[in-house]
Chain A
Amino acid sequence: MPSEDKPRIQVLQGTLDLIVLRTLTTIGPQHAYGIASRLQQVSEDLLNLNQGTLYPALVRLEQQGWIKGTWGKTESNREAKFYAITRAGEKALKSETERWRRLSGLVDKLLLEES
């Protein structure tokens, strides 16, 4: 959305999965709206995330067996699908985080050398 007051960041392809996994380990089982709100909050509204864009990531993670969704009730007694990270998901998170660190380290290094 170009007519916003703050310049927002587009989520890098493939990193959304990592972010969602990480969020779920931090705050525990959460529904899609909860995840989206949390992301917005943490990123201080910097992240340009249409709430609908979360769904492909959720279905992907669930099909890979890294998260598992179950229907439950919220505090306000509304029904919602709560996603929880699985053991395979925790393992994947670890290796994916590792990979991300290496990648971003490499990019940082290259950027430093260039400037």
Chain B
Amino acid sequence: MAALRRFALKILSLVSRGRQERDLDREIAAHLALMADDFELRGMTRADAQLAARRAYGGVDQAKELHRDERSFPWVEQTWQDVRHAGRALARTPAFTLVAIATLALGIGVNTTLFTAYNALALKPLPVSKPQEVVRIKRWFDTGARGDIQFAFSTGEFAHIRERCSGFSSVVATSWPLTVVGERETFTGQVVSANYFTDLGVTARIGRTFLPDEDRAPGANPVIVLSFPFWQTRYSGDPRIIGGLIKIAGTSFTIIGVTPESFTGTFVYPQVPNFWAPLSMQAQLQPGNDWQRSPGNYRLQLLARLKPDVTRSGAQAEVDTLVRQLTATPEARDKTEAVTLTRTSFVADSDDPRFRAFVAALMLIVGMVLMVACANLANMLLARGAARQREIGVRLALGASRGRVVAHLLTESVLLALAGGTAGVILSIWTSRLLWIELARLLAIAGPGILLSMNLNPDYRVFAYAILLSLATGVLFGLTPALQSVRPDLITSLKQEGTPLGQRLGRSKLRGLLVSAQVAVSMILLVFAGFLTRGLVRAQSVDTGLQSKNLFLLFAEYDRDPAKAATRERLLLEQLRSLPQVRSAATGGVPMMGTWTPQMIAGDRRGRTLGSYASSHYFESTGIPLVRGRDFLAQETNLAPLQAGAGVHGSSRAAAERAAIVSESAARMFWPGQDPIGKQFQLDMDFRGSLADFEVVGVAKDVRFANLTRVDPSHVYLAGYTAGTTAILLQVEGDHASALKAIRKAIETFDPALLANVNLLALEDGPLRLQRSMASAFGMFAVILAALALTLAGVGIYGVMTYLVTQRAKEVGIRMALGASQAGVLNAVVVRGLRPVFSGIAIGAVIAGALSSALHTTLAFPGSIDLLYGVPFYDPATFLGLAGFLAMVAAAASFAPARRAMRVDPIEALRHE
């Protein structure tokens, strides 16, 4: 109790310092007066008595100091003193301070921006009430398959878990976003269980959310809740919209509410639909595709709220058993091995190693920019420390402990870092907005109707991150210079400054090292920016080899049963072929949208290849030229669908080999110097060794099929069909609008219900534009970072050279007085000063080369993306050009100091000696 009271009073003393000091003064004065009175009584004169009292009392200031130490926390006052002193010191050199703060703001700003995005994606909990209680249910397959299918559950499983799991106070379900057709436009909507909003604790901004029984009777409650961004963009935030009707897929839906702005959805990706509807209205939204009639339909994501006294692991064990009971039935295609409950954040799969590797790589890159900034500042502080050697020497001589001086210097750098951090956070708020706009633009290309929903507003995590980063930065760049500063022995620093010829070697070495390091980092970033921009340029002009201009892709959900779906797709294909606007149509693999890379065996050669399916006329429709052999025949491609693992076992092979057409590169790879036509090969159909036999009937030209970045290293086209990975590909004639209209009309006559489930897009508009935009986004990102690093390095070199010249002015004066030429001086001071720059360039080039070749080894995998668009990784032009460029920047940065060195007036310089 007494200790607590004392602690509180000590803190109070911090603020009532002035009053306490006055009180103390008064008390000591009284004390002395009383004592002097006593001495006077003993017969001293007043003056003697006062002196005697002082003697008896002891040091007044020491007593005060003791009092202060006891009264409050002395370190707080010391720190405060240091802060004020550092602030004054920084204010005295505004140029240095501004450059330092700007440098740090850039370094910390870039890092904070990245963290803001990461925080919004992976750390911020979902926008629901008490998010710590809410978990996402995730399953793990025995096949090891990963991705968003791990979050997919069936309606049956949802009901099962909801009824039986005792650890949850509630379970809510939400579907994947559905694209639905309105009267003039398409919308994205999610169907959700009626308790979705209430149990997640989301109340409507206006209107209401769903009532508890609104998802019971199928088709009985045509009500929807709008998302905030949709309400804003489509209805300009008009509150009178409540009660209004929207016609979707022929049913009129009543708008009953709008969600609050903060509710950004709960989907595994950061996107928000246009509206939510009750689960029971799914069949009305998607006519002809009723989930109720296909129980094995995995379309729901499940979120659950734990009961207050239940732990996550406890509930997990329970729900694990429940789900596995259900999926043990033979109808389930992939066996569920385990079910886990994960905490909720936007990227549900934030534990995914690929996501983590991606984030780590980005962190490393922006971390490098911060390292350059730190190296710069350390260098500037070293120079500053050298200039202040006298001041520090005096302080040490007056009895300040080294620890105290180091603390003082560190305070200065930490103060700088915090100022830089503050500026950095402001900077990052802007750049996050820019990043956001850029991302939204990319996503708008990826698919219409996808509204990105991310709350990028900085929260406490972002601020904590920025503060910690600033503090760490301050210590990192401040510690070495501070320790360096207190090292010199007192005698030399108290004498005139320490002669320039007797400069301590340690310090100049350290400075050289720092310059080398930042030049090296700039070189690495420059090389990658160079590669990526060359890739960017290529990406805009690169030719796929396909006739992509008039190529349209048609995806549709024909039927849940793969066999029926295949039949219907073929029927529709026949209809479309008869249209005059369609020059050619086929089914088959879709370029630029996912890859399949099976193991291929041809005689004694084996290796990974890209694989896809194709029907007859596929090569005509896509525009991939056949160079030899023949196209597939209609009867070859109308065989029953080949499904991974089904009907193709090593032991019982199908009687006849299926036909295949291989790319030129595949022919070269597997049958070098031979005629591939008529050759046979095998493919591992399911990555588990189920082999199927094929016979080569033709050779196709090499194209960019897997992605825009590179020509397929090897590709085999297989005659046939497989569910899910194919589409109808249409090569149209005439203008696109009328062709699309005709196609839509044909689909409508074929089956009006199908129209709602169709996705028709041009290859140019969709995947190709997305890839080109990605390339430019990557390129821009790299260029910005490299420009940043380059600017910082330039500033750093300039600073160091200026310092060197100033320090050595006397030496230069002596040399000149002794007859040295200007060229000699230039060589001695500037060229030697630039040495660390050259070694930095060399080191950076070596590291960049190593990284680049590591990046290139990933290209061994046929489906992987080549970010450099085929620019060779050792490309001497890039390396030499950039090395030259960096050297030029260094030369430019040292131009002004060099001129100053050559203009040193010997008489002026020597006058001070």
Q: Do A and B come from one complex?
A: yes
Q: Spell out A's residues near B (CB within 8 Å).
A: 31-34, 37, 50-53, 55-56, 59-60, 63-66, 74, 76, 78-81, 88, 92
Contacts of B70 in A (CB 8 A): 55-56, 59-60
B2:A64 contact, CB within 8 angstroms: yes
Contacts of A34 in B (CB 8 A): 34
C-alpha spacing A31/B31, complex, angstroms: 8
Contacts of B64 in A (CB 8 A): 55
Contacts of B27 in A (CB 8 A): 32, 55, 80-81
Contact of A80 among B5, B10, B30, B62 (CB under 8 A): B30
What 9 pairs between A and B have smallest CB-CB spacing? Answer: A52-B63, A56-B70, A50-B58, A64-B2, A63-B6, A63-B9, A55-B67, A33-B34, A80-B30
Give the shortest distance, in Å, between B116 (CB) and chain A (any CB): 45
Contact of A74 among B2, B3, B34 (CB under 8 A): B34
Contacts of A64 in B (CB 8 A): 2-3, 5-6
Confirm or deny: B69 has a beta carbon within 8 angstroms of a beta carbon on chain A: yes
Confirm or deny: B35 has a beta carbon within 8 angstroms of a beta carbon on chain A: yes
A-B contact pairs, 16 of them (CB 8 A): A37-B38, A50-B57, A52-B59, A52-B63, A53-B58, A53-B66, A55-B70, A59-B67, A59-B70, A59-B71, A63-B5, A65-B2, A78-B33, A81-B23, A81-B26, A81-B27
Confirm or deny: B37 has a beta carbon within 8 angstroms of a beta carbon on chain A: yes
Contacts of B62 in A (CB 8 A): 52
B interface majority secondary structure: helix
Contacts of A88 in B (CB 8 A): 2
Q: List the A residue with the shortest CB-CB distance to B61.
A: A52
Summed over the interface, the residue pairs from A and B with CB atoms below 8 Å come to a total of 77
B60:A79 contact, CB within 8 angstroms: no
A78:B37 contact, CB within 8 angstroms: yes
Contacts of A55 in B (CB 8 A): 24, 27, 63-64, 66-67, 70
Confirm or deny: B56 has a beta carbon within 8 angstroms of a beta carbon on chain A: yes
Give the shortest distance, in Å, between B433 (CB) and chain A (any CB): 51
B69:A80 contact, CB within 8 angstroms: no
Q: A66-B2, A81-B27 are in contact. Are A53 and B9 (CB under 8 A)?
A: no
Q: A55-B66, A64-B6 are in contact. Are A78 and B71 (CB under 8 A)?
A: no
Contact of B58 among A31, A32, A37, A52 (CB under 8 A): A52
Q: A59-B67, A64-B5, A80-B30 are in contact. Are A52 and B60 (CB under 8 A)?
A: yes
Q: Spell out B's residues near A (CB within 8 Å).
A: 2-3, 5-6, 9-10, 23-24, 26-27, 30-31, 33-35, 37-38, 56-60, 62-64, 66-67, 69-71
Contacts of B33 in A (CB 8 A): 78
A interface majority secondary structure: helix
Contact of A56 among B3, B23, B37, B66 (CB under 8 A): B66
Give the shortest distance, in Å, between A17 (CB) and chain B (any CB): 11
Contacts of B58 in A (CB 8 A): 50-53
C-alpha spacing A79/B37, complex, angstroms: 13
Give the shortest distance, in Å, between A70 (CB) and chain B (any CB): 12
Give the shortest distance, in Å, between B881 (CB) and chain A (any CB): 71
C-alpha spacing A33/B29, complex, angstroms: 11
Give the shortest distance, in Å, between B486 (CB) and chain A (any CB): 31
Q: A59-B70, A59-B71, A76-B37 are in contact. Are A53 and B10 (CB under 8 A)?
A: no
B2:A92 contact, CB within 8 angstroms: yes
B9:A31 contact, CB within 8 angstroms: no
Contacts of A33 in B (CB 8 A): 30-31, 34-35
Q: A31-B34, A78-B33, A80-B30 are in contact. Are A63 and B63 (CB under 8 A)?
A: no
Contacts of B57 in A (CB 8 A): 50-52
* A64-B6, A65-B2, A79-B26 known, 7 other contacts, Cβ within 8 Å: A32-B27, A51-B35, A51-B57, A51-B58, A52-B63, A55-B24, A80-B27
Give the shortest distance, in Å, between A83 (CB) and chain B (any CB): 10
Contacts of A53 in B (CB 8 A): 58, 63, 66
Contacts of A79 in B (CB 8 A): 26, 30
C-alpha spacing A12/B762, complex, angstroms: 91
Give the shortest distance, in Å, between A45 (CB) and chain B (any CB): 12
Q: List the A residue with the shortest CB-CB distance to B60.
A: A52
Give the shortest distance, in Å, between A53 (CB) and chain B (any CB): 7
Contacts of B9 in A (CB 8 A): 63
Give the shortest distance, in Å, between A97 (CB) and chain B (any CB): 16
C-alpha spacing A62/B31, complex, angstroms: 18
C-alpha spacing A33/B30, complex, angstroms: 9
Contacts of A51 in B (CB 8 A): 31, 35, 56-58, 63
Give the shortest distance, in Å, between B177 (CB) and chain A (any CB): 64
Contacts of B34 in A (CB 8 A): 31, 33-34, 74, 76, 78, 80
Contacts of A92 in B (CB 8 A): 2
Q: List the A residue with the shortest CB-CB distance to B62.
A: A52
Name which of A37, A63, A65, A88 has the most chain B CB atoms within 10 A of its CB: A63
C-alpha spacing A76/B35, complex, angstroms: 12
C-alpha spacing A88/B5, complex, angstroms: 12
Contacts of A31 in B (CB 8 A): 30-31, 34
Give the shortest distance, in Å, between A15 (CB) and chain B (any CB): 16
Contacts of B3 in A (CB 8 A): 64
Give the shortest distance, in Å, between A92 (CB) and chain B (any CB): 7
Give the shortest distance, in Å, between A49 (CB) and chain B (any CB): 10
C-alpha spacing A63/B5, complex, angstroms: 7
